[in-house]
Structure 1
Amino acid sequence: MPQMNQFMASLYWPYLVASGVVLVSTVAIYRLFFHPLAGFPGPKLAAVTRSYEAYYDVVCNGQYTFKIAEMHKKYGPIVRISPYELHISDPDFYDKIYSREGEWDKYAWAYDAFGAPLSTICAIDHNIHKHRRAAVNPFFSKATVAAKSDIISRLVEQLCTRIDEFADESSMTKLSLSAAISALTRDVATEFILGKRYKNLEVQDFNQSLAIILQNSGSLWRITKHLRWYGPLMQSIPMWLVERTADQGVRNFFDFLKDMVGICSTIDSALASGKPDPDDPKTIIHQILDSNLPKEEKSFKRICDDVETITGAAFETTANSIRMTLYHIYSDPEVVDRLRAELNSARQGNRESRLGISSLEQLPYLTAVLLEGLRISPATATRANRVASNRELSFGGRRIPAKTPVGMTTYLMHRDPNIYPDPEEFKPQRWLDLQERWRLEKFYAPFSKGPRNCLGMHLAWAELYMTVAAVVERFDLTFGSSALDDLRCTSDQFIIGTSGRNGLPVAVRRVKG
């Protein structure tokens, strides 16, 4: 009997291996020749398996965006980038995908990896997103941002006070502009959204370790897309173990997440008891609980998912754009001089100690500078997939089956030389001619477009206007030769990922007069 068992075992493994080969071969043949997307061009390996994308995402640290750009050069404007997904590189098609007409779902495979399925940002279904978004839209309206712009003004003033500390000629210490701007955007977002002052700007090093964690947080999302157990595993790590083994940056990050949950719990309990503090500022939590969403959409878990994703989305996206814009401004003395002249002219006869957001928005050259900064450094570096679940799409005479994820990448579109000549150069003058600006705006989407565009767009614009104006008026910044390493996009971290880890050091001088 033992010999018989040995004989059967010797037969089992060859059959198992053969069955695996047959299964893999069958799947590969189906995807290459019989799948609804089989007729679309692209790498054969990408059509067979998502492992192709996983290699560039995980092993190569977020290089798939750049690989997709190479595919388009080889295969044309529409490419099959995975067994299930298409990518398009045709600016004229952008408004068709990111349109307010029709129903557009998100791609569950990509957005479920964020681990916040109940949030507005990660809502897959078009109609679920529509109702959740309608509830929070008023909180981020242009009027609300203008009414609360004193928050931004006060924090920008605090930023300038901290920058001024590094302008002492007796000091050889350089300012880490990356850390300072990150601290500003975190303080603005948390106070605007949660009504709490986290005081990152008051910390000696601007809480730089937390900024580094946030700048690299996209790696968790990229890995979880391909290894679905990875994100839940990281979330399941006990807090006591994190506190004992993690470095200070990771501990700060988890403390921040715990604090946000605590704020949600406190406000939720106060409103449920009918005894809210009338002096407390209105937060995004109040906005959701006071909305006409059904009761199940006001659960504690859903509110937490919304708070974490909305605040997180407002941190490094805006910070990246501010940093890149300031770098390019100070890289060209003519831009600096022209900006200061415009700001000086606007101040003549203005009784405000600092120009308010409404005054700054009227300045054409400042606006052109910011438009160009956002072109070069949009909010994200990754593709934004949309799914037309109830209808087919058509591109270039090709039929795209219903329920097919189709995406475009703003970062790549903003660098299309057919739209923007010399796309890597910072040219604010692109935006000064109104007719040319209207033409370009069709292909301009730093905050995306359509019903899923950036919720905090008006807040980000206000931060850009007020920060850039205040810094340029008061300081001369000198960047080092390695500055672009801290700014140039070299990886897809969902947001802009950079290769530099120097903190963007700058020498500071006060503007005389």
Structure 2
Amino acid sequence: MELNMGWRFLVGSVIVYYGTLVFYRLFLHPLARFPGPRLGAISRWYEAYYDVILSGQYTSKIAGMHKVYGPVIRISPYELHVIDPAFFETIYRTDGRWHKYSWTYDAFGVNSSTIFSSDHDAHKARRRTIAPFFSKPNVLARQETLRRNLDKLCQRISQLAGTTCNLGAAISAFTRDNANEYIIGKAYNELDAEDFGIDLSIASQGSGVLWRTTKHVRWFGPAMRAMPIDWAMKAADEGTKSFLRYLQQCEQDTRDAIAAVESSPGDKVQKTLVHGILHSDLPPADKTLGRIFEEIATVTGAGFETTANTLRLILYHVYANDVILRRLREEIALIRTASSEPFPLNKLEQLPYLTAVLNEGLRLSPAIATRAARITDKDLFYGRWRIPAGTPVGMTTLLMHTDERLYPEPMRFNPDRWMGSAALGAASSKFAPFSRGTRICLGMHLAWAEMYMLVAALVQRFTFTFEGATAGDFELEKDNFGIGTKAGCNLMARASPYEG
């Protein structure tokens, strides 16, 4: 009898607790007055259904919710989302203190890295240390690295001419080799691999599953990372094994770079990101192997599939449209040098149509697919709405970039929307493929350089035909933090030399 009464009391207590919690979140919470789905206001498990069960569909669901509830909505018990482009510069700005939403970013398990530092002050100090490394002058000074890898890519394509090759995987190898050599100072030579290291590309894109799951099941990611590497290697598929081997190699290379800096005086050591961190005024806790490895792994990883995704989309549309391809070739031919020397990056940057093509690719494939919530210590205002201080509120760049009020026929690849100063100014005011404000992408100048150089080289040297590809293959299919597409890292192509 006493045991039965104990169970009744326990069940009753649980019912009362959750009933009270539901009532509070629906009617008394500071965000209770904001519109949105009731289930989303009650529990994050509403988002988990779209993230985990439906494999990354919450970004698409948010777009649908805005059509029902309006421009500002409550998407979880704690978080708001805005879709009005006029609000973008309110939350993505350089003045003020803006924290990232730790619930989203801590799920990666690398919260001491610059990219995933949620705290404004910690991010500011870490970013100040490494930002000069990614400045435009530094990228220009090191474009020979990009040029060497581009030559290697073109040589591989030439060798595969007349056969079907995975141009998409080759592009991923190109961006990985650039990022690794630029950041850690070591050539990983993915472009030399027979299959361009495609397993690592697949694993990099698949990491979104781990992130989405860990957001809602907080022990999942730490449990996976705590698994002994030998166990993981036995249970993993080939893609995951490639990713684990890459992380092991990256950790060892980080260790070696630290040792080289500590054992050699100043300028005699090749200046890598590790050199910059160790010679900075960061506290000792930010100069440990673990912290520096997190920095290297996240910064290099951020430069892999983000840029490669955009390049795959651009190349598909360029070669699927004879008018775009012809105009590009004619414009680039104007700066062709008499010798075999490559195009100077500063000359390519001055080509309006090439720039328009790249802008259009970045519009349809910006760096990330998920919303980027920010938190400030001041109230924010949107129309009649007061957003309480401390509330995570964000926007999704991809949804803004495909807003038909800003970009008519938003899913059409149309470089002409960027031609002319008036058109460029109107469109670019709400154009943020690398985000904006205090958290603007560190590697954007490197990404721009890669895109200018690769697209210019390929359209002048090769003609591609793509097998079975459609425009929809390169559009958002799932939110992997980055943009998950149906094509993934694939773009099957037959190449032939262009003799124009």
Query: TM over 0.5: same fold?
Result: yes
SS at structure 2 position matched to 1:216: helix
Check conservation: 2:203, 2:242, Cα contact below 8 A: no
State the Cα distance separating 1:117 from its structure 2 match.
Answer: 1.4
Give the aligned partner of residue 346 of structure 1: 335
Asked whether 1:93 is paired with 2:84, we answer no
Judge conservation of contact 1:105–1:386 (CA < 8 Å) in 2. Answer: yes
Whether 1:314 and 2:303 are equivalent positions in the alignment is yes
- Superimposed CA distance per residue, residues 281-330 of structure 1 (whole angstroms, 9 cap, x where no aligned partner): 32111111112222222222211111111011000000000110001101
Matched to 1:359, the amino acid is K
Which residue number corresponds to residue 109 of structure 1? 103
Identity between Structure 1 and Structure 2 (%) = 48
8 A Cα contact 1:243 1:251, kept in partner: yes
Which residue identity lines up with residue 201 of structure 1 in the other structure? L
AA aligned opposite 2:324 = V
* Partner-residue secondary structure (3-state), 1:175: strand
Q: Paired residue for 1:355? A: 343
What is the identity, as a one-letter code, of the residue corresponding to 2:6? Y
- Which residue number in structure 2 is paired with residue 3 of structure 1? none
Aligned with residue 393 of structure 2, among 406, 411, 420 = 406
Whether 2:312 is the aligned partner of 1:323: answer yes
CA distance in 2, matches of 1:46, 1:505: 41
Amino acid of the structure 2 residue aligned with 1:327? Y
Aligned residue in 2 for 1:234 = 224
Q: TM-score, normalised by structure 1?
A: 0.95
What residue in structure 2 maps to residue 73 of structure 1? 67
Q: Distance in 2 between matches of 1:243 and 1:85?
A: 38
Please tell me whether the aligned partners of residues 486 and 503 of structure 1 are also in contact (alpha carbons under 8 angstroms). no
- Cα RMSD over matched residues? 1.4
Match of 1:4 in 2: none
- Partner residue of 1:419? 406
Distance in 1 (alpha carbons) for counterparts of 2:263 and 2:133? 24
Q: Which range is displaced more, 478-487 or 50-59? A: 478-487
State the TM-score, normalizing by the size of structure 2.
0.97
The alpha-carbon distance between structure 1 residues 147 and 277, as it changes in their structure 2 partners (threshold 3 A), is closer
How far apart are 1:135 and its partner, in Å? 0.5
| In structure 1, C-alpha distance between the alignment counterparts of 2:475 and 2:411, rounded to whole Å | 10
Query: 2:16 matched to 1:29?
Result: no
Q: 1:218 aligns with which of 208, 211, 218?
A: 208
> In structure 1, how many angstroms separate the alpha carbons of the residues matched to 2:146 and 2:204?
21
Does 1:375 find its partner at 2:380?
Answer: no
Further displaced range: 464-473 or 339-348: 339-348
**Is the partner of 2:73 in helix, strand or coil?**
strand
Q: Give deviations 1:133-186, integer Å, cap 9, x for gaps.
A: 010010000000000001111111111111112213xxxx31112211111100
Unaligned runs of 5+ in 1: 1-6
Matching residue of 1:199: 189
- What is the match of residue 384 of structure 1? 372
Q: Match of 1:433, as an amino acid?
A: G
Structure-2 residue corresponding to 1:300: 289
Q: Does 1:271 align with 2:258?
A: no
Deviation at 1:252?
A: 1.5
Contact in 1 for aligned 2:373/2:394 (Cα 8 Å): yes
For the 8 Å contact 2:364–2:475, the answer to whether it is kept is no
Amino acid at match of 2:236: A
Give the Cα–Cα distance (whole angstroms) in 2 for the partners of residues 59 and 459 of structure 1: 36
Structure 2: any 5+ residue segments left out of the alignment?
A: none
Q: Confirm or deny: 8 A CA contact 1:163 1:508 kept in the other structure.
A: yes
| Contact 1:270–1:276 (8 Å) recurs in 2 | no
Q: SS at 1:240's partner residue?
A: helix
Q: Measure how far apart 1:244 and its partner are.
A: 2.3
Contact 1:267 1:276 in 2 (8 A): no
Q: Please report how far the alpha carbon of residue 217 of structure 1 lies from its aligned counterpart in structure 2 after TM superposition.
A: 0.9
Residue 371 of structure 2 aligns to which amino acid in structure 1? Answer: R
Q: CA deviation at 1:118?
A: 0.8
User: Aligned residue for 2:131?
Assistant: 137
Does structure 2 retain, via aligned residues, the 8 Å contact 1:118–1:301?
Answer: no
Q: Is the 8 A contact 1:486 1:504 kept in 2?
A: no
1:284 is matched with 273
Mapped contact 1:68–1:81 kept (Cα < 8 A):
yes
Instruction: Report the residue type matching 1:412 in the other structure.
Output: L
Q: Does 1:458 align with 2:448?
A: no
Q: Distance in 2 between matches of 1:452 and 1:272?
A: 30
Using the TM superposition, give the Cα deviation of residue 485 of structure 1 relative to its aligned residue in structure 2, in angstroms: 5.3
The separation in 2 between residues aligned to 1:422 and 1:501, in whole angstroms, is 24
**d(CA) in 1 for partners of 2:487, 2:339:** 42
- Checking the alignment, whether the CA contact within 8 Å between 1:483 and 1:504 is kept in structure 2 is no
Aligned residue for 2:100, secondary structure, equals: coil
